[in-house]
Amino acid sequence: MDNYLKDIQDIKEMMNRSSQFLSLSGLSGILAGVYALAGAYAVHCIAEEHYTLESKTFKQIVFIALAVLVLSVTTAIILTYKKTRKDGETMWNATSKRLLLNFLIPLCTGGIFGVLLLKNRYYGIIAPVMLIFYGLSLINASKYTVRDVRYLGMIIVVIGLFSTAYMGYGLEFWALGFGVCHIIYGTFMHFKYDRKK
């Protein structure tokens, strides 16, 4: 009977591995949060009361946002690659492709929506839109990775809704959602999954 139960457990674990990408690095979440907080602080230091799309300030803000994005993505790729190698898995497989596709569909939609808002000068709603669509991306992708990603997504969606309710504090909510939440989530993931191995 014990052998039978163990076989069922082994089959269940194999099915989970084939349908879920389990090699996300908690440390990459922590570092993404640190980059986001550093970026938010940099924007806070240079932001002026009023600026235009053609101004130097706006170009600096775009540069900071892109730098945070590039650093976060690069760090996630490097640390996830190291973790998959350590776990004896491959980083680019059918499950990781489904994960990426389900993550990118809402994210790209939100990105296009954000650009259109920017073009039409709806500046106040851009931060909430970024948070809400990023949260929805995490929820959508969570089907193909650890379920804890879903909770992070839900929290970020709620922060995005609060950001919509309290216009004028977009940067603060952005720092909370992309910065603080990622650091807490990454720390939780590191101790729950990474340290066990």
Q: What is the pLDDT along the chain (197 residues), one digit of tens a residue?
A: 556 555 555 544 544 444 455 567 788 889 999 999 999 999 988 876 666 667 788 888 889 988 998 999 899 888 888 877 877 777 777 777 888 899 899 999 999 998 899 888 888 898 899 999 999 999 998 888 888 889 999 999 999 999 999 988 889 999 999 999 999 999 988 887 766 55
The pLDDT score that the predictor gives to residue 143 is 86
Note the pLDDT of residue 93.
78
Per-residue CA distances from 189 to 103, 109, 181, 184 (Å)? 19, 28, 12, 9
Residue whose C-alpha is closest to residue 140's, from 157, 128, 123: 157
What dihedral do alpha carbons 83, 87, 92, 95 form, nearest 10°? Answer: -110
Neighbours of 188 (CB within 10 A): 16
